[in-house]
Chains A and B, each alone.
Chain A
Amino acid sequence: MNILIKNGRVIDPANNVDANTNLFISNGTIAGIGEALDDFTADQIIDASNQIVCPGLVDICAHAREPGPSQKGSIKTESMAAIAGGITTFITPPTTSPIVDTPAVAELIKDRCAEAGKMTIRPMGALTKGLKGEQLAPMAALASSGCIAFTNTRKAFANSLVMMRCLEYAATHDLLVIFQAQDESLADGGCMHDGSTCTHLGLNGIPESAETIEVARCLLLTEQTGVRAHFGQLSCERSVRMITEAQDKGLPVTADVSIQNLLLTDENLNGFNNDFHLIPPLRSQLDRAGLIQGLLSGCIQAICSDHQPHERAAKEAPFADTESGMIGLETLLPLSLLLVEQKMLDLPQLIAKLTSAPAKILGLPEGCLTVGSTANVCIFNTEEEWSLTADTSHSRGKNTPFMDYPLKGRVTHTVHKGEVVYSPS
């Protein structure tokens, strides 16, 4: 199967490509960029005039909910949402049911993903058994079953000694550890940023220190153990400063941020809109500015969706009684394009944050259009105005404040392993 994607603006940050040209795909791999190849007869030609052609997006954190509560989502439904958003690879946290702390669960996710056949889902493994923070999970076995990183999510370690042992063991096997930094005792069951909006609404707040104290502990133990470490979904300006300082001293840590924390603040919660119930919480204007600054300075390399689908009932209750999280696979790209429209980043810089940078953090061969690599491609326009609606969205969850919101820029084709897996027309 040969595909020619012609006349698009091909942006491949990994190879410093940004040119109006052709992209050739042959038998599932990138065959070439530019002038026509000898012996290449296209079975399918996609006219990408006035469109962007880039690597398929790599989302460093999205929940597929499988195995687990199927009313929230499944690998099949969330795969569809992903490719509709141009995402060809996403990484799932181990908070499935059962938890990814045995190779069997990791294998199951891989198998179901292969059955769905639309894109690639790679699981994160649990650092501790049952995420209970007490005993080490079998990390080496999990890694051979496809877990590409390890995390204890936002669940507490019994103590700092257990955490240190986890990091030492991960370092032994050169495994990547992902911190979703939140001190459980300081978060104290809170449901929003501890600021003046929180005081007005009378909700339990999560203070900034719940994140920053944990970031400090993670940084110190990362330095001590020499583990490869990444910070997922930062929410505080001060975390960015602390991580920048560590990076400046030569500690090779990386970080990502969700697009919602880059765009929204705690003031959006006025009026108790349950769709804004997110963990980590939307924080202050100052925090948002700090996260953007971190993104521009390079402290934060990647942007993720932190996609968390829920059934309707999970969001139909008084604010604190609802489950946290919003869907984001289908809106990741159009919302991220707002950063380009607001002239914070140029388009190649943004695409790097969504493709090559997360792939590099995770050590994946994806996120690039290098000749010979697997042909995962996203084709999109930056001009089409559209809205995600409950009827047309693909995720099983409909929980997002961006439902029916005017969006600009839309995916027209998604190619996974050399096959067009999504095209709306």
Chain B
Amino acid sequence: MFEQTDPSQVQLTPNGELKHFITTEHLSREILTEILDTADSFVDMSAKQVKKVPLLRGKTVVNLFFEASTRTLSTFELAAKRLSADVLNLNISTSSTSKGETLKDTLMTLHAMHSDMFVVRHSSSGAAHFIAEHVTPDVAVINAGDGRHAHPTQAMLDMLTIRQAKGEFAPLSVAIVGDILHSRVARSQIHALRTLGVTDIRVIAPNTLLPSHIESLGVKVYTNMQQGIKDVDVVMMLRLQKERMNSALLPSESEFYRLYGLTMDKLALAKPDAIVMHPGPINRGVEIASSVADCERSLILDQVTNGIAVRMAVMSMAMSGQAKSRPILTGEEL
């Protein structure tokens, strides 16, 4: 009885340009490809002596991390600095919220300081969406991970890594292995892979680590890793958090490793040129064997490098879209 609003509208300007980056779902192949192409140009730049471009000069980027993070926060910070922005890192989990301030009040305070972009990580699904839609729609919001919902920049750096290694998306078979249930990364990867044309997406996990209705995302479900990994081109491992053992989801790390850990034996079932990826930080001997993590087919460190380029790409695109979506003041109004 309520008209379903187009969910992509939150992230796009009326002209279809990116103004927030909250989820890979509902975005077109053109937009995702534009992100990858833009990121490619920054990959080249990062290898040069002078690593800066002035795209965000004079802009203030606030990294708002309500959840602890080292690698995502540092790559966002580097990305913003390479775009010449002023960067403020706020670790909110130890600051305002412990004093009882609401998320909205924290955001409104930062808004009053004339911030131009919020990079937000939060433990609640929908946090970035809430901020972009209801709190500060005129500030570009980049989702750096919200609950189990989405981690779109991680997914796009994975897409960039796949494209660099494989070229085309359509013919690929991709397996995502591990704790799908709690993973925002897996959800964002699945949406991005589908939009970019991959038709054979497999998720591999025991039933306790699979959300109900996961097949509604357009994936094939395997509970047996040997079957699931057979002949795939890309193996994307997920991090397994230690606390999963305490909530009756798994009997032990060693049993998980035996059944779902990526070893050379299991990798041998994939295509001979299959690549291995992991969003990090990796648990050696829990979800991945050291021999696999360190082999030449593992692109884990390329992912980190690409992370900076992809974040530069979405930050510059969202800032540009956001600027265009604001009303232009005429001389009289000024």
A residues contacting B by CB (< 8 A) are 194-196, 198-203, 205, 207, 263-264, 267-268, 270-272, 274, 313, 316-321, 338, 401, 405
Contacts and interface: CB of A to CB of B under 8 A. Distances in A.
A205 B212 contact: yes
Given A199-B211, A268-B2, A270-B4, 7 more contacts: A195-B213, A271-B5, A272-B125, A316-B102, A319-B125, A320-B124, A338-B1
B187 interface: yes
B25 interface: yes
A268 B2 CA distance: 7
- Of A264, A267, A317, the most chain B CB neighbours within 10 A belong to A317
Given A272-B130, A313-B102, A203 B212 contact: no
A380 B125 CA distance: 43
Contacts of B2: 264, 268, 401, 405
Contacts of B217: 199-200
B150 interface: yes
Contact of A317 (B25, B104, B147, B184): B104
Nearest to B66: A318
Nearest to A401: B2
Nearest to A267: B4
B216 interface: yes
A202 B102 CA distance: 22
B126 interface: yes
Contact of A271 (B7, B184, B211): B7
Given A272-B130, A316-B104, A196 B122 contact: no
B82 interface: no
Nearest to B180: A199
Nearest to A338: B1
A320 to B, nearest CB: 5
A263 B2 CA distance: 10
Given A203-B126, A271-B7, A196 B213 contact: yes
A203 B129 contact: no
Contacts of B127: 318
Nearest to B210: A199
Interface residues of B, number: 32
A335 to B, nearest CB: 9
Contacts of A270: 4, 7
B126 A199 contact: no
B213 A199 contact: yes
Contact of B216 (A200, A203, A207): A200
Contacts, number: 89
Interface in B193-222: 211-214, 216-217
A264 B1 CA distance: 7
A194 B148 CA distance: 14
Contacts of B134: 316
Given A200-B25, A202-B184, A272-B129, A195 B1 contact: no
A202 B7 CA distance: 15
A194 B213 CA distance: 8
Nearest to A313: B102
B212 A318 contact: no
- Of A194, A203, A313, A338, the most chain B CB neighbours within 10 A belong to A203
Interface string B1-25: 1101101001000000000000001
A313 B129 CA distance: 17
5 contacts: A194-B213, A200-B217, A268-B2, A271-B5, A319-B124
Nearest to B150: A202
A199 to B, nearest CB: 4
A366 B32 CA distance: 62
A194 B212 contact: yes
B129 to A, nearest CB: 5
Contacts of A320: 124-126, 147
A117 to B, nearest CB: 36
B212 to A, nearest CB: 5
B267 to A, nearest CB: 28
Given A268-B2, A401-B2, A317 B102 contact: yes
A318 B216 contact: no
Contacts of A274: 130
B130 A318 contact: yes
- Of B7, B102, B124, B129, the most chain A CB neighbours within 10 A belong to B124
A318 B7 contact: no
Contacts of B149: 201-203
B130 A317 contact: yes
A113 B265 CA distance: 73
B287 interface: no
List of 8 A-B pairs having minimum Cβ-Cβ separation, nearest first: A202-B149, A202-B148, A196-B216, A318-B124, A272-B126, A318-B127, A196-B213, A202-B125
Contacts of A202: 125, 146-150, 184, 187
Interface in B27-66: none
Nearest to A195: B213
A196 to B, nearest CB: 4
Contacts of A319: 124-126, 130
Interface string B64-104: 00000000000000000000000000000000000000111
